[in-house]
Amino acid sequence: MANGISSFFGLNTALRGLQASQASLDVTANNIANADTEGYTRQSVQLQQFVGAKVNTGALANGGGALIGGGVDITAYQRARDVFADLQFRTQSTVKGETSTLASALDNVELALNEPGDEGISALLGQFWDAWQEVANHPEDDPTKSALVVNAQALVDGIKAFDDNLQAIKTNAANQFSAYTSAKGEVLTDAQTIAKLNQQIKEATAAGQQPNALLDQRDLLVDKLSALGQVTVTELPYGSIQVAFGNVNPPLLVDDSTAWTPTAPATTLYATPNPGGKLGALQDISKTGGTIDQYRADMDAFVNQLVSSVNTAHGAPFFTAAGTTSATMSVAAAIVSNPSTVRTTNLAGSPAGANDVALAVAALRAGTADRSYAGFVLRVGSETRDVHRRDTAADAVLSAASDRRTSISGVSVDEEMANMIRFQRSYQAAARSMSTMDDMLDQLINRTGRVGL
Amino acid sequence: MRITQSMMTDRLLSNLGKSQERLARASEEMQTQKKLLKPSDDPVGAQRAVLTRGDLTANAKYSDNISQARGWMQTASDSMDEVTKLLHRAQELTIQGANGATGDEARKNIAAEIDQIVEAVKQAGNTNYAGTYIFSGTATTTKPYDTTTVPAVDTYQGNTGVIAREIGPGVSVQINTAVNSGTPPILGSGGSDGGLIATLRNISAHLKSGVPADAAALGTTDVKALDANLTALNKAQAIIGATVNRLDAADDRLSSNKLASTQLLSDTEDVDAATAYLNLSTTQSVYEAALKAGATIIQPSLLDFLS
């Protein structure tokens, strides 16, 4: 019975088993080594049965033949990655980037506002009205008027300091935005790296190699970009990708191995619609008519209300009439240089003890200006609270998305240990089957034909 | 779900972070005894706190205004009391002078005393409270009566202006007493306006003249004129009394407003100490539990059980 299979066939089968087990052990070791590497994707060896030998037709009892397995083949080193989990993670990462940036900016606004308390603008406003009351009590007394002017200046300084803080927050956001989007900024350098990786990946893929490490690096960069703005990834042949960033319309940030080169002004990608993410938030904060500008407008409305109502009641400019914004507000120069010119009465001959004007100004207390300021505090409070609520929600969703992804791609040391034992055992078994073959051949070669010796 | 070590570590870290955040918040609430630390903690509460704090500051100032006004009224009342005493003395003297048994010489002596009384009345009219002449109307830096020039000038130097103090939101009250208006005016401006000074000058003249008709006038028109002056004076005193009552009532109202506002502010801003303490110890035990759980789950892996 000749089946046409070599006596040494089994040795080769065992060898393939040994090699496969060793490759699996290598991958396991790599997984364990990278268990804490950011962006690392768990890998596994894909095995397939190797069709090794042909049993000749007629060799079997029923007259048939067969193709029999000759061991195992390694078909791929697979990355455990789910593109949908990536998509979900990146979408949430964009949301979280936006809410956390907004939250920190609004926190700064709240900090600058310093309300409710004894050091905020409302306390200064209270002291200002108190000073007017005191002038109404002692209209003939110049030191009282000087005290009023000092209090008024403290109020102006307080309002200006808050406005300066708002402007600083706005400028800071604008600076951060330009830092991210400048030629040396994160967006463009990442884009260039992705383009280079694309080139390397393409070359490796074309050469039939699996560039797992490069793919991990590229995915990590796209993840980072997704916190800055919305990202859309389109697959290209040979493992290359296109990345659309921010504004969904062209130009693409990365197209295959080409990174976008900005033409001045470099705003195309970040223009309306809002790019979302951290950049979107920074844009919302710093743009003309954005969050900070709206707050400043609210404060200006309050200042305008205060200045015009005090001046009207005073009958002459107490505050400089033209200074109706936080930035331009000031106590009238004539009043500062000579506090005794604070008017206390409109009566003919200005009797020293008449206080009708001072009373009229003092009566503005708790009026429209005070209420408009309190309304502003309410606005800042509710917007900050709302952003924090959104941030907390985004955080929860992001960590769920991240968990889902890690659950697919992450390295479990326990699992790797179990696999290690498994692969070690199969290595041992393959080795045993090889030595069994060896014993068999030893028997055949050394012990046959020695009858009677 | 497939769970990996890094997932567990990440979750642990994130939960520890959240726990720590809550712990920091709870301890800050304990330290400051305030639950409203920034507007976003309770936006509506923050708005209310800003307005309520404003109310409290205003209240304190109104209270201050009231006590200043009360001092003013007290001084005015004291001066009016003094004038009343002087007027009573003038009545006695006038009746004495009207008596037929009183001789011309004695009348002249009485007239000299009456002249002194006029000066004393003018001094009372010049009463000064905290640097202001309280009977000058709004000309508070001008003495109402000249007491130095000889011969005496009785003209009122002040005006009829009204001085008001704000004692509550939109509520002001007149605190000065007009001594040169009304019929007859309380002190008047001398001459023939029927004020106390004019009446006293008349009486003095009648006492000095030695004409029988004048002596007769002392017992009739002059006594009547003094009565009219006394009535005007009493009326002014009554108004002062009523104003003081009004100040007292306003002060009471401010006190109760202050109580209510303080209560409201405290409800809005302050923590309940017991709740804050409970909150702190709860968050603390949660934090400790998270740490403990972390210590338990982080340590073992299959590695520990393989030989």
| Short-list B81, B66, B115, CA closest to B245 | B66
Position of tokens 């020039």?
B149
**Rounded CA separation B264/B52 (Å):** 8
State CA A318 to chain mean position distance: 49
**Rounded CA separation A88/B86 (Å):** 98
Q: Chain A: nearest CA to B262, how far in angstroms? A: 14
Stretch 133-162 of chain A: residues touching chain B, C-beta under 8 Å? 133-134, 136-141
Query: Who among B3, B61, B137 is closest to A412 (CB)?
Result: B3
Name chain B contacts of A356, Cβ cutoff 8 Å. 164
Query: Who among A126, A347, A380 is closest to B138 (CB)?
Result: A347
Calculate ∠ Cα A379-A380-A382, nearest 5°: 65
Cβ–Cβ contact A267 with B under 8 A: no
Q: Do A352 and B61 touch (CB under 8 A)?
A: no
Q: Which residues of chain A have pLDDT under 50?
A: 1
pLDDT tens, chain B, 307 aa long: 888 888 888 888 889 999 999 999 999 999 999 999 999 999 999 999 999 999 999 999 999 999 999 999 999 999 999 999 999 999 999 999 988 888 888 999 999 999 999 999 999 999 999 889 999 999 999 999 998 888 889 999 999 989 999 998 888 899 999 999 888 999 999 888 999 999 999 999 999 988 888 888 988 999 999 999 999 999 999 999 999 999 999 999 999 999 999 999 999 999 999 999 999 999 999 999 999 988 887 766 777 777 6
Q: What is the pLDDT of residue B246?
A: 94
Rounded to 5 degrees, what are φ and ψ at A164?
Answer: -60, -40
Eight-class DSSP state of A246: S
* ipTM score: 0.84
Name chain A contacts of B135, Cβ cutoff 8 Å. none
Question: Does residue B172 sit in helix, strand or coil?
Answer: strand
| pLDDT, tens only, A313-346 | 999 999 999 999 999 999 999 999 999 999 998 8
**Rounded CA separation A55/A46 (Å):** 27
A44 burial type by CB count under 10 A (0-12 exposed, 13-18 middle, 19+ buried): middle
Residues 6+ apart with CB under 8 A from A428: none
Q: Is the peptide bond before B185 cis (omega within 30 degrees of 0)?
A: no
By the 8 A CB rule, do B190 and A381 touch? no
Hey, of B3, B44, B50, B65, which one would you mutate to test binding to chain A, going by the most A CBs within 10 A of its CB? B50
Hey, of A377, A416, A420, which one would you mutate to test binding to chain B, going by the most B CBs within 10 A of its CB? A377
| pLDDT, tens only, B123-160 | 999 999 988 999 999 999 999 999 888 888 999 999 99
Q: What is the pLDDT of residue A348?
A: 81
Name chain A contacts of B71, Cβ cutoff 8 Å. none
Stretch 344-383 of chain A: residues touching chain B, C-beta under 8 Å? 345, 347, 351-356, 359, 362-363, 365-366, 370-371, 373-375, 377-382
Q: What is the pLDDT of residue A1?
A: 47
Give the type of residue at A10: G
By the 8 A CB rule, do B77 and A425 touch? no
**Rounded CA separation A329/A337 (Å):** 17
Q: Which long-range contacts (CB under 8 A, 24 or more apart) does A28-34 make?
A: A28/A416, A28/A419, A28/A420, A28/A423, A31/A411, A31/A416, A32/A411, A32/A413, A32/A416, A34/A411
Rounded to 5 degrees, what are φ and ψ at A264?
Answer: -65, 140
